[in-house]
Amino acid sequence: MTRLAPAKVNIFLKITGIRGAYHELRSRFVRVDSLCDTLKFIKKERKSDRFELLCSTPLPERNSVSESYRLLKELKPQVELFFKEYAVLLKKSIPMGAGLGGGSSDAAAFLNLCNDVCDLGLSKDELARIGESVGADVPFFVYGYASANVEGVGEKIEPFDDEPLDLKLFTPPIHCDTGAVYRCFRDRFGDKIAKDSAREWLDVSSTKLMQSLKPLEANDLYAPSLLLYPELEEHSSNSRFFSGSGSTFFEKR
């Protein structure tokens, strides 16, 4: 009862609108199979009513896995019975606050594994709808696509037939607060939001995009991240792209 939870990078990420407290985007997500968390269900020493999440890295009490459990058990009560006997063991390899979607991938791995082990019979679409309430990136990981164009607040996902990428990732020891980066974007760059931004990039391969785009133009969250975390500048270059709200840079090998 084990599931790998891979990382992702954003080849491009453009903010296309604001929906209440959320930001609409248009982005190319690419799965990174060389970097994964590992999620397991293990037998408890004795039964208990408490949902147990054992993690190699300290997590807040309310986290993506515990939220996924809370939502799933409301829909499928048998899940609660299962976790009276089993605990979740999560080994973190994906850095947190790095723009790699680790928490979202963990949530998706949990949902998919529960669906299999507890024989819930939920479709990928149903699991993705649960995942939407946990985090905008969760649906992408639920579907397991290698590459996809993602729009809206993460709920519009179209698989993209992309050529495989061999990427080199570099994550400096800087924890970027996603919420703070988005707020900074809204406050400082909100007047530059364009609904049709990057629409023409949706049909272009990731390789060609990385050859033709500059890192700063590819990701709308790069500039606000630099404002909040100016030390990122020390690790930037014209060949290194910036994933999500940071702090990971990536380039083709």
Catalytic residues: 8, 137
Provide CB contacts within 8 A for 171, sequence distance 6+. 95, 98, 100, 247, 248, 249
Residue 36 phi/psi, 5° resolution? -140, 145
What residue ranges in 102-213 does DSSP mark as E strands? 147-152, 156-159, 167-170
CA 57 to CA 90: how far, in whole Å?
9
Strand residues in 78-227 grouped as ranges (E): 86-91, 147-152, 156-159, 167-170
Which of 68, 87, 130, 79 is closest to 1 using CA atoms? Answer: 87
For residue 99 the two structure tokens come to 């723009």
- Tokens 């609108």: give the residue: 17
- Coil/strand/helix, residue 167: strand
By 3-state DSSP, what share of the chain in percent is helix, strand and coil, each rounded to 5?
35, 30, 35
Kind of pairing, strands 156-159 and 86-91? Answer: unpaired
Q: Rounded to whole angstroms, how far apart are CA atoms 187 and 183?
A: 6
The sign one gets for the Cα dihedral 155, 160, 162, 164 is positive
